[in-house]
A and B are shown apart, each in its own frame.
Chain A
Amino acid sequence: MVQLVFYVFATILVGSAAMVISARNPVHSVLFLILAFFNAAGLFLVAGAEFLAMILVIVYVGAVAVLFLFVVMMLDIDFTKMREGLQRYAPIGGVVGCILFVELVMAGLHWGMSPVMPAPITGGLGQPGGAATNTGALGNLIYTHYILLFQLCGLVLLVAMIGAITLTLRDRPMGRRQIISRQHERKRADTLEMMNLPLGQGTDANGGFIRPNDSYYVTAVPGSYGVPAAEKREPGEGDAE
C-alpha cells in the first residue's frame, strides 16, 4: 500500500517536473511547479517527515510559487526569446545531466554510514525520554531551548522591515490620497448645478440624433476631427464577421 502511494506521488512529481520545463505557457509552468511541490510534500509524508512536508507546502507553495506566479504575470518577459538557444545548449545540458546521473548512481551504490558516526538519536530531541514527533522535537528546540535566538531573529527581521520602509517610502506631495471623510461630506449641491435650458438650444442634429454642439460624436463625420484618414476604418470592411 505504501509503495503504491509512493509510486503515485513519484510519478506525478516527475511528470509535473517535466511539464514545468516543457509547458509553453509560463503560467502553466508555475502551476505545474506547485503540483510538483505538493507531490514532493506527499513523498515526505510517506517517509515520515511530516515537518518537512508542512514547511514545503507553506514556504514553497505559499510564498515562493505564488511569488513566481506574480513575476510571470506582472513582468513582460518574452519566453519564446528565452527558449531560442534550446537547440544549441541541449548537448551541453545533456552531458551535465549524464554526469550528474552517473555520480548519483555511484553515490547510491556505495552509500553507507561512517563507523565513527555516533548512533542516530532516537526518541525526543532535547526531551528527556519519551518519543516525540519531528514537529514536537523541533518545536521544543526552537521555542523552548532557543527561544532567545528565535525572538532575536524576529527583531532582526523587524529591523530589516523598518529599514526597507525608511529607505524606500517617499512622501509624494503629488500623490492623490483618498480622504474618506471628505468624500462622505460631499453633497450633491457641491458638484452638480441644475440648469434650466430651453429645448433644443445648443444642439445639432447629427446622424439622426440630437447631440450637444462640439461634442465628440459630431466628429463621427469621417476625417473631421484630426483623426488621420488612414486610420479610419472603411465602412463595410470586416462587417461580415
Chain B
Amino acid sequence: MNWILALPEIVLAVSGLLILSVGVLTKKGHAFLPSATLSIAAFVVTGFLVALSPGGVGYDGLFVVDAFARFIKLLAIVGGVVAIALSVGYTNEHRELPFEMPILVLFSTLGAMVMASSTNLMTLFVGLELSSLAIYVLCALERDRLGSAEAGLKYFILGSLASGLLLYGVSLVYGYAGTMEYAPIAAEINSAGILPIGLVIGMVFVIVGLAFKLSAVPFHMWTPDVYQGAPTPVTAYMAGAPKFAAFALILRVMAGPFGAMSPRWQLLIEVIAALSMLFGSFAAIPQRNIKRLMAYSSIGHMGYAMMGLAAASPAGTTGTLVYLTTYLIMNAGTFGVITAMRRQGREVTEISDIAGLGRTNPGLALVLAICMFSMIGVPPLAGFFGKFMVFAAAWNAGLYPLIAVGVVSAIVGAFYYLRIVKVAYFDPAAPAFDRPAPSVSFVSIAMGLATVLFLIGLGPISEAAQAAAQALIG
C-alpha cells in the first residue's frame, strides 16, 4: 500500500472538509475564529506528519516524497499558518473576512504541497490549479471593495491564461516525449540524438506558465495590482506558499525531466532572473503604497532566488532553497507590520503613514527595520545568507554577468528599503497606529526574532536544503 505516502495531504484535505462543516454549522458571524484556530491546528498536525513521512514514489508514479518535497511542504505550511494568524488580527468591526478564508488558505496550501510532490506533469497541473483557484477567490474576498474585486478578476484572467500556456506546453511535451512522467521524459531526452523542436517549445511554455505564478519578469504585470488590492493577510500568503510551490515545480521540472537540456534553458532562466532583479528594484523606487512596494520587492526577490536555479548545480539549488526560507521569514515579519498599520480600525497602507513609527511604536518600527535590513542583505540578518549562497553558486557556475546585474539591483534595492527605515525613524511623526491585535504582534515579533537569530538555525536549515538538493539532483 503506498497511499500512506500522501498521508499529510489526506489529513489536511479531510480536516479542511471537517472545518468547512464546523464553519457552516456555527452561528453566523462567530465562525471565523473557530475555523482559523482549527485550520492552524490542522496545519500543525500536517507539519508533523510531513516531517515524519516516509520517502518513496507512489500512486503509479504520480506522487513522490523525498527530502526536497518535505522541505518545500514545511515552508508552505509555515506560510499558511502565518497568513491565517495575520487574518485573525485583521478582522475587526470594520473589516471582516468570511470563515471560508482559512479553509481556502488550507486548500491552497494543499495544492502547493501536491505541487511539491509531483513526479508527473498531470499532478503538477492539478496541484497548481487547486492552489491558484483558491487564491483567485481569496483575492476577491472583500468583494465590496473595488480594489479587492479588481485584484481577484485580474489575477483570475491572467492566471487562467498562464494555466492555458502551461497546459499547452505540457501537451507538446507529451506529444513529443510520449509520456508525462518525469523520469521517462528525461530518459526520452537523453536517448534522443537531436531534440525535437516541439519538445523545446513545450518546455519553454512550461517555464512561462510557472514564471507567471512566480511573478517573474516579463510575466509580472498582475503582481502590483493584485498585491495592493487583495486583503493584507492574503497578500502575505501569496508572497509565501504559492511562490515556494511554483519554485518547487520549476526546480523539479528543470532538474528532473529537462535536466539533460540544461544548456538550452539556462540562458532563458538567466534572462528572466536578471530582468526580475532589475525591474523589481527600479520600479519599486517611485511607489507610495507599501503593499505595492512589497509586490515589486517580491518580483526582485524571485529574481535572486532564480539565480541559484540558473546555476544548475546542487549548490545553486541549496542556495535557492535557503533564499526562499529567509524570504518567507522576513516577508512574514514585514506583512505582520503592514497588517498592524491601522488607525481607528481602518487600514492605512501608504508609506507616508509609517512616518515616525520609531517614536509612536518602537517595537513595530524595530521589526520593520530588521526586515528591511534583512531584505537588503545586511549580515548577520537572515537575508544575507540567502543572497550569499545564491551569489556564491552563480560565481562557481561562472555566471558573471548575472552577478553584476544582481549586485547593481541589490544596491538600487537598498535605496528603497532604507527609505522606509528613514521614513519610520526620521520623518515627523504621523498619528499613532492602533494597538495591534495579539496574533499580529506575535507574528511580527516571532519573525523579527527569527530574522535576527537566523544564524543559529542556519546549520540545520542549510543541511536540510542540501539534502533536498541532493534528493532532487542525485
- A167 interface hit (Cβ, 8 Å): yes
B140 to chain A, nearest CB (A): 6
- B44 interface hit (Cβ, 8 Å): no
CB of B143 within 8 A of CB of A167, answer yes
B23 to chain A, nearest CB (A): 10
Instruction: Give every chain A residue within 8 A of B107 (Cβ-Cβ).
Output: 155, 158-159, 162
CB of A159 within 8 A of CB of B130, answer yes
CB of A152 within 8 A of CB of B127, answer yes
- A239 interface hit (Cβ, 8 Å): no
A147 to chain B, nearest CB (A): 7
One of A149, A163, A165 near B133 (C-beta < 8 A): A163
- A156 CA / B125 CA spacing, docked (Å): 11
CB-nearest residue of chain B to A168? B143
- B59 interface hit (Cβ, 8 Å): yes
What is the interface size of chain A, counting residues whose CB is below 8 A from a CB of the partner? 19
CB of A149 within 8 A of CB of B62, answer yes
Interface string of B123-136 (1 = CB under 8 A from A): 10011011001101
CB of A145 within 8 A of CB of B60, answer yes
Within 8 A of A (CB), among B144-166: 152
- A149 CA / B110 CA spacing, docked (Å): 13
Instruction: Give every chain B residue within 8 A of A160 (Cβ-Cβ).
Output: 133
Instruction: Give every chain A residue within 8 A of B122 (Cβ-Cβ).
Output: 146, 149
CB of A171 within 8 A of CB of B62, answer no
- A167 CA / B141 CA spacing, docked (Å): 7
Q: Which of B97-105, B228-236, B394-402 contacts A (4 or more CB under 8 A)?
A: B97-105
- B6 interface hit (Cβ, 8 Å): yes
CB of A148 within 8 A of CB of B103, answer no
A150 to chain B, nearest CB (A): 9
CB-nearest residue of chain B to A154? B13
- A159 CA / B63 CA spacing, docked (Å): 21
Within 8 A of B (CB), among A85-131: none
CB-nearest residue of chain B to A118? B178
- B137 interface hit (Cβ, 8 Å): yes
- A196 interface hit (Cβ, 8 Å): no
CB of A156 within 8 A of CB of B126, answer yes
**Chain B residues within 8 Å of A, Cβ to Cβ:** 6, 13, 17, 20, 28, 59-60, 62-63, 98, 100, 103-104, 107, 110, 114, 122-123, 126-127, 129-130, 133-134, 136-137, 140-141, 143, 152
**What are 21 inter-chain pairs, A to B, with CB distance below 8 A?**
A146-B60, A156-B126, A156-B129, A156-B130, A156-B133, A158-B17, A158-B107, A159-B107, A159-B134, A160-B133, A162-B103, A163-B136, A163-B137, A166-B98, A166-B137, A166-B141, A167-B137, A167-B140, A167-B141, A167-B152, A171-B28
Q: Which 4 pairs from chain A and chain B are nearest by CB?
A: A163-B137, A148-B59, A152-B126, A166-B100
